[in-house]
């Protein structure tokens, strides 16, 4: 009797144990953290696309955008700190990469995230058109992010959630870009971002600084390139391992990187010629394998893309880089006949002299930076035009020496130009003074004092002192030191100006304009501006660059050869980087309006020599030298030559007074000095 009872008792115990284990398992499952997924796995498990953000609503699938999978996997890799994507349009990048990265971290790894857009409006557009629809359609995000609540500080560009925050900012706002540290930093379209956020630095670099406090941070930078050697995303990709996508041929299995030169647009009979397309049949465009020459159907091309993979083409660096273009898209709008039609239309415009559509095709379809050839002379051309006069000297035409200073944190970049009749200019010095510049009247500022006592030897043998100085004060960290220097070194006979470039990239602001009526310094009462305090002068830098560099349709002073009005000259022994730096910017079309252009700094060189030359042209206008009549210049030249006959101190005084004073045969120039009375000496004479 005992055995059956013992058996039943054991079964009951087993049943009770199994039941307890099941209950405990359910309890632990309820409180267990979600499974660690990669971003692509998360997207295909949880993400829902709404009709607001995609023409293909429903569960998110990388079947439509296979080229994005490895990008998302790189963003998931715990050892990767920076991912860069140089891309074309029509790849689903914003929805498939930016949104997925944000959504994944909000759900799986809550933390602070910052996304930097070119302007605040584009940040708000992203929130309304992409991010908010994603949150509403994706259940785990809708449970965590309350888009309607304002109680927790939420807004259109601020999204709080348990354990983190998503902040959407414009690159043109230094307070937004610099204010918050974040583990995830995303930069959208860096080529359209602010290169200098109100004098406080490049927006991309400022944003990257926000992530440094987190050892496990992720920086994601993606965008379409613009001009070769002036594209921010191109510079970022060149500093990466430059991964390119290889696809296998369905006929021979050989792998290659897709390129536009593999696309064939067949010709029709001459009788079928059309106005824009000629005999080209864009409707029949096809792709061929570079290895076996086989023709692919669109279905074979799409299948090859889904079987493709990335390979690095450069040595490993701190950044993972991906180059992708529209030939890797499977969307209906990216079929080869559609791309062929766009190309032929752009080619037609190009043949008529309008490059704008071809540039757009190159950037937005092929994902490549456009090389602006012929916009500027080559560096070798400028080098060949160098003249055989010595440093700190000038030929006979140079009569008014001016010094311009571009302030960097560890050095002062300096030019001395000597101005002559009708804005002809001779370079007498280009160089740098090393040393800190943030502390007033120390470091490089001491060396600048000594340099400003240098006299330029005229062809006649006369020694000419510096007539005026312009110092860049746009950097917020060094501006106080500049103001202090200007206060202490500005004096009668040699004005020292604090200048700042206008926030105008298209050339709408004139080179010189009247300074603000109030100085930045208070008077003794502290309630009014000091009459003779520092006035920050605004420089129309874009207008000045138009004059100096011009572009293909306009020409510029650097293109002018020989002697005469507006010519620029430089000496043979000038420091070699002068030529590269003088040609350090190009004028490229605005992405939003290709008919308008803006100046863009090249990423392969520094630009201090150009900036200093811009300031020199501003001094020409600030001192009204461009309005002086021939008689004034004749009189100044006589006085300069005759100065050798007098005592050294007398000749110095005469040259200094002459350089800043109107001649008797002209109407007195407008007073543009800092203390309001720089021309008094000449009037007394």
Q: State phi, psi for 177 to the nearest 5 degrees.
A: -70, -35
**Lowest mean pLDDT, pick from 106-120, 198-212, 472-486:** 198-212
| No. of helices (H) and no. of strands (E), the chain | 23, 27
Cα–Cα dist 285/358, whole Å: 18
Average pLDDT over residues 64-86: 96
Query: Whole-number mean pLDDT of the chain?
Result: 86
Place of tokens 């309820």: 30
Percentage of the chain with pLDDT > 70?
82
For residue 419, count CB atoms less than 10 angstroms from its CB and return exposed for 0-12, middle for 13-18, buried for 19 or more. buried
Do the bridges between strand 496-501 and strand 468-472 make them parallel or antiparallel, or are there none, so unpaired?
A: parallel
Beta bridge partners of 405: 414, 471
| Token pair of 474 as six digits | 């746009």
Q: Please report how the helices 39-46 and 69-76 are oriented relative to each other, as an axis angle in degrees rounded to 10.
A: 120
> Which of the 8 DSSP states describes residue 136?
H
Three-state secondary structure call for residue 280: strand
Which carries the bigger pLDDT value, residue 54 or residue 227? 227
What number of residues does the chain have? 685
Looking at residues 587-602, what average pLDDT do you find?
A: 82
- Is the pTM above the cut of 0.95? no
Three-class HEC string of 325-375:
CHHHCCCHHHCHHHHHHHHHHHHHHHHCCCCHHHHHHHHHCCCCCECCCCC
pLDDT digits 0-9 by tens, 223-247: 999 999 989 999 999 999 999 999 9
Structure tokens at 56: 């293909």
pLDDT band at 29 (very low <50, low <70, confident <90, very high): low
Mean pLDDT calculated for residue range 429-435 = 97
Q: Supply 497's token pair.
A: 């100006």
The number of beta carbons lying within 10 Å of the beta carbon of residue 121 is 10
Residue-wise pLDDT for 518-568, tens only, equals 777 666 555 666 667 788 999 999 999 999 998 655 668 999 999 999 999
Q: What is the pLDDT of residue 647?
A: 45
Q: What is the pLDDT of residues 159-184, one digit of tens each?
A: 999 999 999 998 876 555 556 789 99
User: What pLDDT, on a 0 to 100 scale, did the predictor assign at position 352?
Assistant: 87
Q: How far apart are CA 532 and CA 355, in angstroms?
A: 51
Look at residue 673 in the predicted model and tell me its pLDDT. Answer: 36
Residue in this structure with the two tokens 């030939």, named with its chain if needed: 327
Is the pLDDT score of 308 beyond 90?
Answer: yes
For residue 537, the tally of other CB atoms under 10 A from its CB is 22
∠ Cα 114 84 169 (to 5°) = 20
Query: What's the whole-number mean pLDDT along residues 395-417?
Result: 97
For residue 515, give the DSSP letter.
P
Burial of 189-212, coded b for 16+ CB within 10 Å and e otherwise, reads: bbbbbbbebebbbbbbebbbebbe
pLDDT of residue 177: 58
Q: Specify the DSSP class assigned to residue 605.
A: S
The confidence band for 677, taking pLDDT boundaries of 50, 70 and 90, is: very low
pLDDT tens sequence across 276-305: 898 899 999 999 999 999 999 999 999 999
* Alpha-carbon gap, residue 140 to 112, rounded angstroms: 18
Pair 87, 224: CB distance under 8 Å: yes
Diameter of the chain by CA atoms?
A: 140
For residues 372 and 552, what is the distance between their CA atoms, to the nearest angstrom?
9
Dihedral angle, C-alpha 508, 514, 518, 523, nearest 10 °: 140
What pLDDT does 215 receive?
A: 92
| Residues 78 and 335 sit within 8 Å (Cβ to Cβ) | no
Coil vs helix vs strand at 187: strand
Fold of 41-238: Rossmann fold (3.40.50)
Q: What is the enclosing helix (H) or strand (E) of 203?
A: helix 203-209
Query: Does 18 have pLDDT greater than 70?
Result: no
| Banded pLDDT at 683 (limits 50, 70, 90) | very low
Q: With a cut of 80, say whether residue 630 has pLDDT above it.
A: yes
d(CA 185, CA 101): 10
- Spatial contact of 556 and 562, defined as CB atoms under 8 Å apart: no
Contact yes or no for 82/318 (Cβ under 8 A)? yes
Candidate ranges 15-29, 201-215, 385-399, 466-480; pick with highest mean pLDDT: 385-399
Q: Which residues of 216-250 are buried (b: 16+ CB within 10 A; e: fewer)?
A: ebbbbbbbbbbbbbbbbbbbbbbebbbbbbbbbbb
Output the pLDDT for position 519.
73
Tokens standing for residue 76: 């998931």
Contact in structure between 614 and 592 (CB atoms under 8 Å): no
Of 162-176, 372-386, 569-583, 665-679, the poorest mean pLDDT is in: 665-679
pLDDT for residue 675 is more than 70: no
With cut-offs at 50, 70 and 90, classify the pLDDT of residue 628.
Answer: very high
Question: Which tops the pLDDT comparison, 517 or 609?
Answer: 609
Beta carbons within 10 angstroms of residue 145's beta carbon? 24
pLDDT at 574: 97
Specify the higher pLDDT residue, 656 or 190. 190
The secondary element (H helix, E strand) that includes residue 92 is: none
Residue with the two structure tokens 């400022």: 206
DSSP state of 207: H
CA separation for the pair 368, 424 (Å, rounded): 39
652 or 455: whose pLDDT is higher? 455
The pLDDT of 621-649, averaged and rounded, is 85
Nearest-10 Cα torsion for 410, 412, 413, 415: -170
Does residue 497 carry a pLDDT above 60?
A: yes
Q: Is a pLDDT exceeding 50 seen at residue 632? A: yes
349-383 in b/e burial notation, b at 16+ Cβ within 10 A?
beeeeebebbbbbbbbbbbbbbebeebbbebeebe
- Burial of 93 by CB count in 10 Å (0-12 exposed, 13-18 middle, 19+ buried)? buried
Query: Could you read off the pLDDT of 191-217 as tens digits, one per residue?
Result: 887 665 555 556 778 778 888 889 999
138 Cβ contact list (under 8 Å, min separation 6): 46, 47, 48, 103
Whether 661 shows a pLDDT value over 60: the answer reads no
Do the beta carbons of residue 601 and residue 230 sit within 8 Å? yes
DSSP assignment of 17-48, as one string? HHHHHHHHHHHHHHHSPPPP--HHHHHHHH-E
Q: Distance between CA atoms of 659 and 559, rounded to whole angstroms?
A: 28
Dihedral angle computed from the Cα positions of residues 658, 664, 670 and 675, in that order, rounded to the nearest 10 degrees: 50
Residues of the chain with CATH 3.40.50.300: 41-238
């Amino acid at each position: 009797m005992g055995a059956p009872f013992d058996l039943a008792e054991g079964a009951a115990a087993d049943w009770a144990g199994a039941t307890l284990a099941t209950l405990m398992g359910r309890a632990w499952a309820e409180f267990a953290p979600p499974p660690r997924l990669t971003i692509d796995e998360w997207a295909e498990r949880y993400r829902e696309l709404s009709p607001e953000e995609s023409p293909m609503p429903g569960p998110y699938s990388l079947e439509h955008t296979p080229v994005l999978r490895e990008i998302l996997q790189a963003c998931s890799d715990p050892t990767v700190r920076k991912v860069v994507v140089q891309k074309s349009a029509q790849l689903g990048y914003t929805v498939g990469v930016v949104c997925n990265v944000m959504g994944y971290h909000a759900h799986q790894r809550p933390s602070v995230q910052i996304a930097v857009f070119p302007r605040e409006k584009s940040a708000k557009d992203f929130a309304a058109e992409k991010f908010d629809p994603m949150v509403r359609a994706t259940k785990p995000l809708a449970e965590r992010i309350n888009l309607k609540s304002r109680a927790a500080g939420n807004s259109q560009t601020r999204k709080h959630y348990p354990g983190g925050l998503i902040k959407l900012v414009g690159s043109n706002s230094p307070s937004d870009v610099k204010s918050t540290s974040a583990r995830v930093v995303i930069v959208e379209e860096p080529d359209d971002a602010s290169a200098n956020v109100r004098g406080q630095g490049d927006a991309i670099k400022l944003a990257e600084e926000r992530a440094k406090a987190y050892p496990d941070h992720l920086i994601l930078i993606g965008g379409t390139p613009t001009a070769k050697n002036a594209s921010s995303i191109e510079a970022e990709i060149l500093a990466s391992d430059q991964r390119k996508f290889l696809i296998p041929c369905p006929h021979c299995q050989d792998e290659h990187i897709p390129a536009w030169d593999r696309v064939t647009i067949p010709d029709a009979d001459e009788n079928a010629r059309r106005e824009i397309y000629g005999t080209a049949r864009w409707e029949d465009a096809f792709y061929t394998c570079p290895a076996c020459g086989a023709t692919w159907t669109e279905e074979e091309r799409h299948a090859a893309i889904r079987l493709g993979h990335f390979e690095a083409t450069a040595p490993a660096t701190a950044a993972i880089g991906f180059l992708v273009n529209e030939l890797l898209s499977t969307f209906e709008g990216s079929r080869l006949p559609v791309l062929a039609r766009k190309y032929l239309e752009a080619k037609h415009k190009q043949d008529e002299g309008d490059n704008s559509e071809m540039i757009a095709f190159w950037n937005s379809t092929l994902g490549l930076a456009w090389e602006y050839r012929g916009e500027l002379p080559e560096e070798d051309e400028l080098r060949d035009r160098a003249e055989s006069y010595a440093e700190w000297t000038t030929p006979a035409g140079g009569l008014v020496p001016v010094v311009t200073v571009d302030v960097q944190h560890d050095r002062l970049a300096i030019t001395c130009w000597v101005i002559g009749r009708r804005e002809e200019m001779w370079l007498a010095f280009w160089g740098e003074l090393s040393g800190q510049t943030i502390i007033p009247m120390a470091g490089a500022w001491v060396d600048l004092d000594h340099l400003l006592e240098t006299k330029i030897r005229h062809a006649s043998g006369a020694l000419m002192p510096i007539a005026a100085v312009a110092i860049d004060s746009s950097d917020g960290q060094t501006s106080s030191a500049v103001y202090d220097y200007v206060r202490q070194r500005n004096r009668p006979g040699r004005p020292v100006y604090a200048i700042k470039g206008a926030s105008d990239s298209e050339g709408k602001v004139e080179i010189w304009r009247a300074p603000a009526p109030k100085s930045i310094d208070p008077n003794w009462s502290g309630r009014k501006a000091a009459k003779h305090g520092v006035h920050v002068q605004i420089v129309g830098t874009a207008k000045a660059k138009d004059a100096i560099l011009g572009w293909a349709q306009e020409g510029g002073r650097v293109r002018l050869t020989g002697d005469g009005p507006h010519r620029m000259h430089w000496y043979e022994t000038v420091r070699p980087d002068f030529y590269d730096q003088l040609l350090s910017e190009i004028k490229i079309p605005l992405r939003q309006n290709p008919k308008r252009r803006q100046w863009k700094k090249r990423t392969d060189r520094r630009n201090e020599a150009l900036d200093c030359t811009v300031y020199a042209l501003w001094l020409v206008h600030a001192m009204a030298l461009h309005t002086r009549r021939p008689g004034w210049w004749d009189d100044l030249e006589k006085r300069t030559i005759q100065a050798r006959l007098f005592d050294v101190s007398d000749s110095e005084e005469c040259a200094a007074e002459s350089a800043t004073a109107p001649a008797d045969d002209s109407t007195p120039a407008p007073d543009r000095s800092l203390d309001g009375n720089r021309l008094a000496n000449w009037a007394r004479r």
